[in-house]
Amino acid sequence: MIGVLASRLLWAIPTMLAIITLAFFMMRIAPGGPFDGERAMTAEVKANLERAYKLDKPVYVQYGHYLAGVVQGDFGPSFQYRDQSVSGLIRQGLGPSLLVGGLAVSLAFVMGMALGITAATHQGGVVDRLTMALASLGLALPSFVIAPLLALAFGVGLRLFPVAGWGTAAHLALPVFALSIPYAASIARLTRGGILATTSAPFVRTARAKNVSPARILWRHILPQAIMPVVSYLGPSAAGVLTGSVVIETIFQIPGIGRYFVQGALNRDFTLVMGVVIVYAAMIIVFNLLVDLVLQRLDPRTRSTA
């Protein structure tokens, strides 16, 4: 286990370096600059700004400075949010994104597992067909459709929850539910498929031959194997949810890093976009590592292979 962990961590270093390098040069190749949108700016003022932010240096020199700062945990200053660092902006936005994303992942896991188990235990029946129809609907409707519908129904119509803003528990209800629906639908389908695929496994037939109760067979024998596709799916999905949903944060006016990413891209704020990309990539690597460790605990065959 320790050897696998060390190997994954070693691979994470060149992976992060490749992501940083690719994102850095893609941002520089794209047309436009961070100060092109400023009004009434003379060439001298623009040159002074570029000198202050070291944008007058050759690209490879800028890359070296930026990489040295990232190693020290410094993502540089923001070009649009003056007198603020990118690290500070990310710290401000990461809290709301993690809260909404964490609640959404937890809710999606609970709902998806419940729906998947219910459908699998009623295979071929009305409950199975109805559950899978709901899951298909959840997959078919994108977040930018689900979120406004929830806001109109429960915010504007019934006035049960606020439709925008941040600061109270009531503000979490609609964005968390809207963000969790597509993931819950995927988890439900994966859980159902995993249970049905494991039901005919030899160890399950052996347990039935020993007159083990159906509930014990489901929870002790089938589910540990059936949820492995769910665990694999949750790795990159959780990273995406926890680092902020651009659509959800924009619709419900949540001050998360997803909105910072959009504003940084629109304003050509190189360092802000780069900082969000690095955080997102790091979380994907960490969650994939956790997924590998969990899968090794669930399946002894992966431990022996490792």
Could you tell me the two tokens for 222?
A: 């089938």
Calculate Rg over the CA atoms of the chain: 24
Q: How many CB atoms within 10 Å of residue 246?
A: 17
Q: Using the CB atoms, write b or e for 124-136: b if 16+ within 10 Å.
A: eeeebeebbebbe
Can you give the length of the chain in residues?
A: 306
Tens of pLDDT along the chain (306 residues)? 556 566 777 778 888 899 999 988 888 887 766 766 556 667 777 777 777 777 778 888 889 988 998 888 888 888 888 778 898 888 888 888 889 988 999 999 999 999 999 999 888 889 999 999 999 998 888 888 888 999 999 988 888 999 888 888 899 999 999 999 999 999 999 999 989 888 888 888 888 888 888 888 888 888 888 888 888 888 778 776 776 577 888 888 888 888 888 888 888 888 888 898 888 888 888 888 888 777 777 765 554 444
Residue that is written with structure tokens 């619709």 in the block: 251
Is 229:193 a contact under the CB 8 Å cutoff?
yes
Q: Using the CB atoms, write b or e for 22-48: b if 16+ within 10 Å.
A: ebbeebeeeeebbbeeeeeeeeeeeee
Could you tell me the two tokens for 254?
A: 């949540």
Torsion region of 117: left, alpha or beta (phi above 0 gives left; psi -120 to 50 gives alpha): alpha
Report the distance separating Cα 1 and Cα 8, nearest Å.
11
Q: How many CA atoms lie within 13 A of 253 on its CB side?
A: 8
Pinpoint the alpha helices (H) of 162-226.
Answer: 170-199, 202-209, 214-216, 223-226
Report the distance separating Cα 16 and Cα 274, nearest Å.
12
User: Of 79, 100, 113, which is closest to residue 230 (Cα–Cα)?
Assistant: 113
Single pTM value for the model: 0.80
DSSP for 237-280, written as a single string: HHHHHHT--HHHHHHTT--SHHHHHHHHHHTT-HHHHHHHHHHH
- Partners of 85 in the beta sheet? 77
Residue that is written with structure tokens 């037939």 in the block: 205
pLDDT at res. 306: 43
**All domains of the chain in start order, with CATH:** 96-264 (1.10.3720.10)
Residue 77, SS3 per DSSP? strand
Is 86:75 a contact under the CB 8 Å cutoff?
yes
Could you tell me the two tokens for 102?
A: 């964490």
- Amino acid identity, position 153: A
Residue 85, SS3 per DSSP? strand
Is 20:278 a contact under the CB 8 Å cutoff?
yes
